[in-house]
Chain A
Amino acid sequence: MATERNQIETALTRRYRAGFVTDIESESLPPGLDEDVVRAISARKHEPAWMTEWRLAAYRHWLTMTPPRWAKLDIAPIDFQAIRYFSQPKQRPKSLDEVDPKLLETYDRLGVPLHERARLAGVAVDAVFDSVSVGTTFRKELAEAGVIFCSMSEAIREYPELVRAYLGSVVPRTDNFFAALNSAVFSDGSFVFVPKGVRCPMELSTYFRINARDTGQFERTLIIAEAGASVSYLEGCTAPMRDENQLHAAVVELIALDDASIKYSTVQNWYPGDENGVGGIYNFVTKRGDCRGARSKISWTQVETGSAITWKYPSCVLRGDDSVGEFHSVALTHHRQQADTGTKMIHIGRNTKSKILSKGISAGRGQNTYRGLVRIEKSADGARNYTQCDSLLIGKHCGAHTFPYLEVKNPNAVVEHEATTSKIADDQLFYCRARGIAEEDAVSMIVDGFCKQVFKELPMEFAVEAKKLLEVSLEGAVG
């Protein structure tokens, strides 16, 4: 009897495999937010005065703002004074060899190649645990190529002139409510600088993990690709299972100069809450890329399976002539998850091109919204956009919504938008079942086919991971 129960429990918890808590000593600031907290965060990170002032200015602006509510989301009010804005593992390691083995084990359990395994995978990883970066791999190899890849706190100390020149230049600290909050209290994140003409020799990756209770994670990522440079960056995220909602409000800024290209991939698997919508992460993120140079290219790929609420629009400002923006997305909502996600493509330069491919899957009582803006400014002669967004419904109680905004001010532009909504057809299921494929497998096969165009944009290891994630997330969606 006991073993049977164990089996059942294992089966139940299997849904969110990253839901464990690492018992590690951490030191945190008490919950709450005021100027002293902002100063304390800045002081703990030994930041220069200009950075502290920058944060304070953001905080003061944030005080004047109210949380936006235009999204098609049902958000329980957030008590910003109940959140701990800073938490870090007590022992600060000097190198990866000194990192608390428990922490390494955490990343090991999550399948993140932090140590020797990293060599096999050939991916440089920056791991962010709660509020701070705990280690970055392959530093030396990258440095030889001239690539800077380190945590944001380190970058502020070591490369202040670079950070100062670019931080907030794509997402100003006054941009929106959550970006302002992030600007005030951001604790860490990754910094990437690829100098002129350099092709980054390996994939860069950051792994975000929220561990401590009542903490919010506010990371800030800044990626700069100078003229002719190129880089591919991956991001993964998980959190323990807790009954309270936790806030994650990140800001990501990408800057591509002439002929540069940045590829940014995300596999987001924050804890989604349970079947009844208890707990889970609020994932309210501002991500924006600036194609500043001519012929530059920024490509976003995201697979969003986690979070109780996902609210984000990775965007491209196509300023440079002939620049290209891409957005590929799979967003899945199951149980009571909600997602309002999409992109913004702002065409300013001549002959700028953008492509949007969005696949939304709704199951259970999930609500999935695509919201996308395509704006063609007067100056964008010859601009071109193509948008396709498809929704797949699994079950009677879910919702799939599409809110595109097409704003065209140039008569030489061509903008196209197409959207479809369908469910998994009975004949497709029947076909698979008739060939001995179990219903769940058939569903995941069909879903996989539905998402294929997006998965093929992901680096191979991530594509496999994403496919597995979808399968796990969809468990129990049919039957």
Chain B
Amino acid sequence: MDAALLEEFGLGDARERAESWRYSAQALRALGAQSFVAADAAATPPPALMERCDWAETRGRRLVFVNGRLSAAHSDWRALAQARPEVRIDSGPAGATVIVLPAGRTGLLHIVWASVPGAAPGRWNATCAIRLEGGTAHVIEQHLAAPGADVLGALGSELEVAAGAALHLTVLSDLPAAASLYRRVRATLRERGVLCTTHALGGGRLQRFDFACDLAQPEARCELRGVFAAQGREHIDAHLEVRHAARDTASDVLWRGVADGRGRGVLHGAIRVESGADGADARLQTKNLLLSPHAEIDAQPVLEIHADEVKASHGATVGRLDERALFYLRSRGVPERAARAMLIEGFCREAFAVLDDAALGARLDTWLATHVAAGGERRP
């Protein structure tokens, strides 16, 4: 079964799969050793779970998928349906959901992926495409799971950003210890298209995020930001790949990672500049904090450059909390635990700095308090 799971989740030949799952092979193998039944798409999510995605600012603009299938009963898209031009939600081939965002200001779209375990370990698969035809749109993707038996979700997406359009994508994952998620996104940007993403990944037994961004046409630009926070026995693996395939494209990747307890965090950030993609400007920066002697962080920034009129750089660090900053705070009367929490939160917040949505900012703060600051709190 484990080989089958690698076969299913890995891309390319055996060698590429082995390399891409280098740091998560063990976690995947453990999942593969387990047997799963198909998760029940008609399951009812517990009210406590629904409360966590019932955001006031997204009422009327929310799609809820339960175990991979769109649940009309739990969704609420009145505002989206009334918008002119209308946001279309279609069924694609093989049960895929296709969301078309027309040109013009569509505002927020809140997509919730809820995993609801049954009595036995369950699995679900889903695909969902989002096409932005013009203008700007903000999509919030939230991953949740109810506690209980193991559940493994696999979700593939195509994102398309039309010429001149700008898509903001915020991904918030907050999973219990028994939930695993394999999320694969392939984004394609046309001429002058812009994609800004902010990821906040926390919790889960295994969370794997493959995010490939294709700057396919001239002057396309992407900004990928995010934080992963692994504590307990959580394993989070983020695989970012930016491909510059046209002239004058730009990318800026900034990620923060924190690992505590027996957690393991992986960040693979690859920039590939194709031959002919002159004028590309690529930057990648990842900083990571290791907070426990049993945690591990693996960082792999990669550059593949096939053109010469290029500016490309990357930087990666793995280290501990700055003792001097801690001392500074303590000398001003901040208790050690609070000081630690403050520093860790500040460290992560750098990746959230671009968001100017106050309500969303508050939600990310709550997320930080649950997944990151707890590490500071637990310390003596």
Is A401 a contact partner of B317 (Cβ separation < 8 A)? no
Contact B19 A408 (CB under 8 A): no
Residues of B within 8 A of A (CB): 15, 19, 23, 275, 288, 290-293, 295-320
- A404–B300 CB distance below 8 A: yes
Would you call A395 an interface residue if the criterion is a C-beta within 8 Å of the partner chain's C-beta atoms?
Answer: yes
Q: Check if A415 is an interface residue, CB within 8 A of chain B.
A: yes
CA–CA, A70 and B312, complex, Å: 24
Q: Is the CB of B300 within 8 A of A414?
A: no
Partner of B301, one of A412, A413, A419: A419
User: How far is A394 from B298 in the complex, measured between Cα atoms in Å?
Assistant: 32
**Beyond A407-B298, A417-B317, A419-B315: 9 further Cβ-contacts under 8 Å?**
A391-B305, A402-B302, A402-B314, A405-B298, A405-B300, A408-B298, A416-B315, A420-B313, A422-B310
Majority-rule SS of B interface residues: strand
Interface size class of A (residues with CB under 8 A): 35 or more
Interface residues of A in 369-395 (CB under 8 A from B): 376, 378, 391, 393-395
CA distance A69 to B12 in the complex (A): 14
A413 and B305 contact, Cβ closer than 8 Å, known pairs A70-B19, A420-B312, A422-B311: no
Q: How far is the CB of B24 from chain A (nearest CB, A)?
A: 13
Query: Are A395 and B308 in touch, CB under 8 angstroms?
Result: yes
Centre residue among B293, B303, B310 by max chain A CB count within 10 A: B303
Known interface pairs A399-B304, A401-B303; A70-B15 also in contact (CB < 8 Å) = yes
B-side contacts of A416, CB under 8 Å: 315-317, 319
Question: Could you tell me which A residues sit within 8 Å of B by CB distance?
Answer: 69-70, 376, 378, 391, 393-423
| B298 close to A415 (CB less than 8 A) | no
How many A-B pairs have beta carbons closer than 8 Å: the answer is 111
Q: Which residues of A contact B308 (CB under 8 A)?
A: 393-396, 398, 423
Residues of A within 8 A of B309 (CB): 423
Residues of B within 8 A of A69 (CB): 15
Contacting residues, chain B, for A413 (C-beta < 8 A): 290, 318-320
CA distance A325 to B331 in the complex (A): 38
- Asked if residues A421 and B296 are in contact (CB atoms below 8 Å), the reply is no
Q: Which residue from chain B places its CB closest to the CB of A420 in the assembled complex?
A: B313
Contact B292 A411 (CB under 8 A): yes
Given contacts A408-B290, A409-B296, A418-B313, contact A399 B306 (CB under 8 A): yes
Asked if A406 and B298 sit within 8 Å, CB to CB, the answer is yes
A413–B316 Cα distance when bound, in Å, is 14
Q: List 22 A-B contacts (CB under 8 A).
A: A391-B303, A393-B310, A394-B308, A401-B304, A402-B301, A404-B301, A405-B300, A406-B297, A408-B299, A409-B295, A410-B293, A412-B320, A413-B320, A414-B319, A415-B318, A417-B315, A419-B314, A419-B315, A421-B310, A421-B312, A423-B308, A423-B310
Most chain B C-beta atoms within 10 Å of own C-beta, residue among A70, A378, A400, A408: A408
Q: Chain A residue with minimal CB distance to B300? A: A405
A364–chain B nearest beta-carbon distance, Å: 12
Query: Given that A69-B15, A393-B305 are known contacts, is A378 also in contact with B293, CB under 8 Å in the complex?
Result: yes
Query: Separation in Å of the A336 CB from the closest CB of chain B?
Result: 15
Residues of B within 8 A of A408 (CB): 288, 290, 296-299, 318
Write the nearest CB–CB distance from A19 to chain B, whole angstroms: 29
CA distance A398 to B306 in the complex (A): 6
CA distance A415 to B315 in the complex (A): 11
Considering only CB atoms, which chain A residue lies closest to B304 in the complex? A401
